A and B are shown apart, each in its own frame.
Chain A
Amino acid sequence: MSQVRETESHGNEEVREVTVETRDLTKRYGDTLVFDELNVEIEEGEMFCLLGPSGCGKTTLLHLIAGLEEPTDGGVFFEDDRVEGPDYRRGVVFQDPHLYPWRTVRGNVEFGPDVRGEKPDSEHVDHLLRMIGLEEFEDAKPGELSGGMAQRVSLARTLANDPELLLLDEPFSALDAMTQMKLQDELLALMGKLDLTAVFVTHDIEEAVYLGDRIAVMGDGGEGIRKVVDADVDGDRDSEEFAEKKREVFGLFKEEIQDD
C-alpha cells in the first residue's frame, strides 16, 4: 500500500512514526472497569484492528482516540498532543451511516468542511464521489440509498475533511456479506491511494485478518488488549497463509469459546 510499508516489508531499518499512543489509559463507567492502564502505539500508515467480543471496550477505545469520550485516567496522544476532544483530523466512520436526511448525497459529503466554516472544495468532493462510485447519485437523498451506498457516503463524508487518522467503528457490520467484502476491498484501495492511518474496530476475525496490518485482540471484563498480532498477510482470502493467520487469531479466543 503506502510507500513506507513497502520499504519496511523489505526489512529496511526505517523507524515508523507513531501517530497515536495511549499512555496508561484507564476507562471506567461507574464501578465497571472497561480497561486498565492500556498502552498501545499505532504507527503511521498502518491499519490497526481492534478485535474482540462485544463488551470488551473496543468501541470505547476508539471513541477515546476520537476524543468523543474522556479517559478516567491516563491519556491518548495524537502526534504527541494530548487528545482533549473531537478533532476533524481524526475522522470517525460510525457503525450506522447517520447521514443527514435533509441533505443530498453531495451535501452530506460536503458537510465536514461546511460545519467547520470552510467552503467545500468541489473538485475534492467530485473526486470522492467518483471514488465511492456514487457520482451519479450526488443529488439523491439518503432515504433513497441502500445500506452499502449510505455507508460509502458516510466514509466519503469523513474523508472530505482530509483526516490524518481514520477511525472506523464496525462500519460494515450491518451490511450483507457480499457488500461487506466489496467495501473491504474498496477501503483497502482507498487507504493505499490516500496514505492514511486507520484504526478499525470489528468483532469479525476474518475481517480483521483481511484488513489489518496488526490486530489487537481484546478480552472483556477489564482485560484490555490480550495480544497484538502481526497480520500483514497478502490479500487473498483463499490462501494458506490467510487461513493460518485466521487459525492463529482464533486460537487467542479459546477462553471465550470454552466459556460458552
Chain B
Amino acid sequence: MATTETKPSKSKEPETAGRWDRFADPDARGALPFVGIVVTLVVWFWATHPVDGSIGPVPVEGSIGPVVIDLSTAFPTEPGDALAHFSPVAAFPALYELLTSPAFFTEHVLASMIRFGGAFALCLAVGIPLGIALGYFDTAERLSSVSFQFLRMVSPIAWFPVALMVFESGGHAAPIFIIFMGGVWPLMYNTAHGIQTIDKDWLKVADSLGGGTRRKIQKVVIPGVVPEMLSGLRLSIGWMWILLVPAEFLGVSSGMGYFILNARQQFSYADVPAVMIIIGIIGYFLDLGVRKLQARWSWQ
C-alpha cells in the first residue's frame, strides 16, 4: 500500500543543544527578563539604601516643566533606620559569606531540602492515589468531599501545636507534616478533576478493545491525566516551598526558616535578605523543573 502523504515533520531538538540548555527557562528568552531583574534590584536599593544627602535633589524633566524630586524625602531612610539593615549593599556580601560556607549548606539547606523532599514524597504517595480514587469512583468523591474541603480550609500552620506535641522535637517529622497538610490539596484535586474530565472516548475505545477496570486505569486514565496532574503538582510545589519557612519557625534548630528567624535574634540582619535570595532561587528552579516536565508531557 503506497502512501502519498508527506512525512510528518518531527520537531526534534537540535543535536547541538548544549547540556546547559536543558536547564534554560523557556519563558526567559531575550533581554527583558534581565531588565526586570535590574529594575527589581534598583527598587530594592532605593527603598532600603540610607540616603546621606550625597545624592541630593534630582531634577527630572517632566511635560509640565522641570520637576524636582528630593530623594532624601522621597526615601527617608537614614543610617540606622530599620530598613537599612536589609539593603542589597549589605545583603550581597552576606549572601557571598553564606554561599562559601559549607556549614550553611550541610546544616540548613540540607535540612530544609530533606523536609521539603519528605513532604513532596508524601504528597505524591497520598495525593495521586487519593486523587485517582476521587476522580474515578463517585462514591469516594461523595464520601470525602465535605471532610476534605473542610480540612483544606484549615491553615496548615494551625496544626503546629498538634505536630509539636506528636512528633519528636528537633526532627524532620513536624515540618514535613505541616508542609504536607498544605501542599497535598492542589495535586489531589487536580488529579481528580483531570480524571473526571478525561476524554470519555479514550475509555470507550479501551472498553471495545477488551480492557478491564484495573488496566484501563493503568493504561488510559493515568497517562491521560498526567498534564493536569503536573499542573496540580506545580501548584503543590509552590505551596510546599512557601510553607517550608514557617514550618521551620518552631521546634527545630536547623533549616532555612529557622536560619531567618535566628538571624534576627542574632542581629545579623543582612542574612535575612541573603537567605531570601537563596530560597527564591531554589524555588524558581523547582518550579522550572515541573514546567520542563509539563512541556515534555503536553500533546496539544
Pick 6 A–B contacts, CB within 8 A, sort by A. Answer: A66-B208, A98-B204, A98-B205, A102-B224, A103-B223, A149-B5
Contact: B10 with A144, CB < 8 Å?
Answer: yes
Q: Is A59 part of the contact surface with B, judged by Cβ < 8 Å?
A: no
Number of interface residues of A (CB under 8 A): 42
- Decide: A112 near B299, CB < 8 A? Known: A132-B1, A144-B8, A186-B1: no
A88 within 8 A of partner (CB): yes
A114 / chain B contacts, CB cutoff of 8 Å: 219
For A250, the chain B residues whose CB sits under 8 A away are: none
A48 to chain B, nearest CB (A): 18
Q: Does B163 contact A (CB under 8 A)?
A: no
Closest chain-B Cβ to A85's Cβ sits at a distance in Å of 8
Name which residue of chain A comes closest to B6, CB basis.
A146
Min CB–CB distance B3 → chain A (angstroms):
4
* Interface-lining segment among B60-68, B69-77, B141-149, B209-217: B209-217
Is B206 close to A, CB under 8 A? yes
Chain B residues with CB below 8 A from A141, complex form = 299
Known: A96-B201, A102-B223, A102-B297. A133 touches B2 (CB 8 A): yes
Q: Which chain A residues lie closer than 8 Å to B199 at the CB level?
A: 98
Cβ–Cβ < 8 Å partners of B3 in chain A: 133-134, 149
Residue pair B202, A100 in contact (C-beta under 8 Å): yes
Identity of the chain A residue whose Cβ is nearest the Cβ of B200 in the assembled complex: A98
Is the CB–CB distance between A161 and B8 below 8 Å? no
Does B90 lie at the interface of the complex (its beta carbon under 8 Å from any beta carbon of A)? no
Among A88, A134, A145, A189, the residue within 8 A (CB) of B209 is A88
Q: How far is the CA of A134 from the CA of B208 in the complex (A)?
A: 23
Q: Taking the nearest CB of chain B, how far is it from the CB of A201, in angstroms?
A: 14
- A144 and B10 alpha carbons, distance in the complex (Å): 8
On whether the beta carbons of A115 and B220 are closer than 8 Å, the reply is: yes
Mark each residue of chain B from 1 to 26: 1 if its CB lies under 8 Å from any CB of chain A, else 0: 11101011110000000000000000
Contact A112 B210, beta carbon cutoff 8 Å: yes
Question: In the complex, what residue of chain B is closest to A117 when comparing beta carbons?
Answer: B215
User: Are B5 and A148 neighbours in the complex by a CB distance under 8 Å?
Assistant: yes
Assuming the contacts A98-B202, A131-B1, asked whether A116 and B299 have C-beta atoms less than 8 A apart, the reply is no
Q: Please measure, in the bound complex, the distance between the C-alpha atom of A148 and the C-alpha atom of B4, giving whole angstroms.
A: 11
> Which partner residue on chain B sits nearest A178 by CB separation?
B4
Report Cα–Cα, A136/B7, bound state, in Å: 9
Apart from A117-B212, A161-B210: 5 A-B pairs, beta carbons within 8 A: A68-B204, A88-B209, A102-B297, A136-B7, A158-B208
Top 3 A-B residue pairs of the complex, sorted by shortest distance between their CB atoms: A88-B210, A115-B211, A144-B8
Residue of A nearest to B223 (CB): A102
Residues 58-100 of chain A, each 1 if its beta carbon lies under 8 Å from chain B, else 0: 0000000010100000000000000001111011101010101
- Minimal Cβ-Cβ distance residue in B for A157: B209
Q: Which of B192-234 contact A (CB under 8 A)?
A: 199, 201-202, 204-212, 215-216, 219-220, 223-224, 226
In the assembled complex, the CB of B269 is this many whole angstroms from the nearest CB of chain A, namely: 51
- Residues of chain A with a CB closer than 8 A to B209's CB: 88, 91, 111-112, 115-116, 157-158, 161
- Interface residues in B106-129 by Cβ distance below 8 A to A read none
By a CB distance below 8 angstroms, the chain B residues around A112 are 209-210
| A140 → B minimal CB distance (Å) | 6
Tell me how far the C-beta of A130 lies from the nearest C-beta in chain B, rounded to whole angstroms.
8
Please measure, in the bound complex, the distance between the C-alpha atom of A186 and the C-alpha atom of B5, giving whole angstroms.
15
Which among B199, B201, B209, B216 has the highest number of chain A CB atoms within 10 Å? B209
Residues A143 and B299 in contact, CB atoms below 8 Å apart: yes
Closest chain A residue, CB of each to CB of B211: A115
Chain A residues near B201: list those with CB within 8 A. Answer: 94, 96, 98
Q: Are B206 and A91 in contact (CB under 8 A)?
A: no
Instruction: Write the nearest CB–CB distance from B2 to chain A, whole angstroms.
Output: 7
List residues of A (141-181) whose CB comes within 8 Å of B's CBs. Answer: 141-146, 148-149, 157-158, 161
**How far does the alpha carbon of A87 sit from the alpha carbon of B207 in the complex, in Å?**
8
Residue of A nearest to B11 (CB): A144
Measured between beta carbons, the chain A residues less than 8 angstroms from B215 are: 115-117
Given the complex of chains A and B, what is the CA–CA distance between A94 and B212 in angstroms? 20
**What is the distance, in angstroms, from A165's C-beta to the closest C-beta of chain B?**
12
Which of A102, A115, A143 is in CB contact (< 8 Å) with B206?
Answer: A115
Question: Interface digits, B286-297 against A, CB 8 Å rule (1 contact, 0 not)?
Answer: 000000000001
Q: How far is the CB of B202 from chain A (nearest CB, A)?
A: 6
Q: Does A55 contact B (CB under 8 A)?
A: no
Chain A residues with CB under 8 Å of B10's CB are: 140, 144
Q: Which residue of A lies closest to B210 (CB)?
A: A88
